[in-house]
Each structure stands twice: as structure tokens, then as C-alpha cells.
Amino acid sequence: MIYSLPPWSCTKQKYIMLSMKIAGPRQLENDIDVYLTPLIEDLRKLWVDGVDVYDQSVQQTFRLCAMIFCTINDFSAYGNLSGYSVKGHHACPICEKNTSYIQLKHGKKTIYTRHRRYFKSYHPYRQLKKAFNRQNEIESAPKPLARHEIYDWVKDIVTIFNKTQKKDASGNNIWKKRSIFFHLPYWCDLHVRHCLDVMDVEKNVCDSLIDTLLNIKGKTKDGFKCHQDLVDMSMRDQLHPVS
């Protein structure tokens, strides 16, 4: 999609360019790299050599170079492109092993917590115990890995195609491959490589809120199991189930 067009027209069919279509019943996992190879080759050429382009207004050719600034995608595509496992306990590619999570006993889901760490150290919400998890938040936000650290992590990973990689014994399987984008000479130097498309995030958050506020059956997030989990976390006494 051409994101420099206004939001009301960039999603219209006539402005969408279908560059490729991958058919098949399964998720691609690492195999996406096979489809991306020609694109990466073109991008490499555009950066290293550039291409000659004719400028009609001055009637001469000039050398055009281009680079990828960042990719814009939803969260599962983030995993697919970056090689980071965006599922499970360490789902956040920025916080990595410092991702704060709780495995819910009754709801069975993994939830990601302690976002007050991202507030400034004097933010009043850090002191609000009752509204959150009954604790003050004193920790600061986890530091994202520096750009070359990630490359050091992934540079020796052998990408396995055509099957889902098994967990290795050390449990170090949060990086599943070296992203094919690292073939681009500038890729390790980018501080932000992948961006989430706000439209996706907004839609999911909005759906959850509306479904819960309107108490839509089968979709609301406010059920008995959630209330039991609140008991376990000793939060929000007024919502605890009464037997």
C-alpha cells in the first residue's frame, strides 16, 4: 500500500499494488525468504549500484539509489520478517527476555504486564497500587538491544526451510532465523527495522473494548475465568466471584 497517500484513499483497491501472491494452506514461516529473495536482490542493487533513471524535465539521466526505511506490517508478519518468535512468553521483540508476562491459571492465556515501566520515573501512575497490581512500579523500561547486538545474536543461525524449527535444548529459540533483510548492507545500522501497522493494532484493541463494553456473548473479555484470575492476582476485590 502506498502509505504516503491519505489514509482514506491508501486502502482503496485502485491504489493497492499486488506485488505477489503466495498460495497455500500453511503459514510460510522461514520459507517467506524464498519469495523475498528477488526483492532483496533488487534492493541491494538499488543501494550499492543504483539505477540510471531519465529525468524528463531536465532531459538527462541521473543515478537513483533507494533504501528500505522500515517495513510496516502486523505483528505476525513482524515475526515472519524479523525471525523473532512473536509467540509465547517472550513475545516482545524489543524487551526480549525481559518481557514481563503472567500465565493465567484459569483463562489459560499469556498476558503481558507492567507497562507502567515505560512511564517517566516520577509519573503518578507508578504509585497507584490499587488500580494496578497492588505494587508500586519502580523499575524503568527494559532497554532495547543495540542494533549490532541483534545481528550478533542471529548471524550464525542456520535458516531451516520447509519445516518448523524445533526448540533447541538451551531454550534459546526466540530467534528463528537470520532475517533475509540482513543481506542489505545498511540493515544492521537501522535502529528501527520493523514497524507495526497502527490500523491493525487499533482494530484489535477497539474490537475487544467494544465487545466487552456491549457484553457481546462469546466475544466479551469479561467472563467467569477472568474474575477467577483476578482472585489469584488479588486485584479488584469488587469483581471477585461470590459463591
The residue ranges that bind Zn ion (CB under 5 A) are 92, 94-95
- Can you say whether residue 130 is alpha, beta or left, with left for phi > 0 and alpha for psi between -120 and 50 degrees? alpha
Q: Which is nearer to Zn ion, 95 or 180 (CB)?
A: 95
User: Least distance (Å) from Zn ion to the CB of residue 95?
Assistant: 3
User: Least distance (Å) from Zn ion to the CB of residue 134?
Assistant: 22
User: Least distance (Å) from Zn ion to the CB of residue 61?
Assistant: 46
User: Least distance (Å) from Zn ion to the CB of residue 67?
Assistant: 26
- C-alpha cell of 136? 508500586
Q: Which is nearer to Zn ion, 104 or 141 (CB)?
A: 141
Q: Which is nearer to Zn ion, 132 or 180 (CB)?
A: 132
The CA distances from residue 213 to 111, 165, 176, 217, in Å, are 20, 40, 38, 11
User: Least distance (Å) from Zn ion to the CB of residue 98?
Assistant: 8
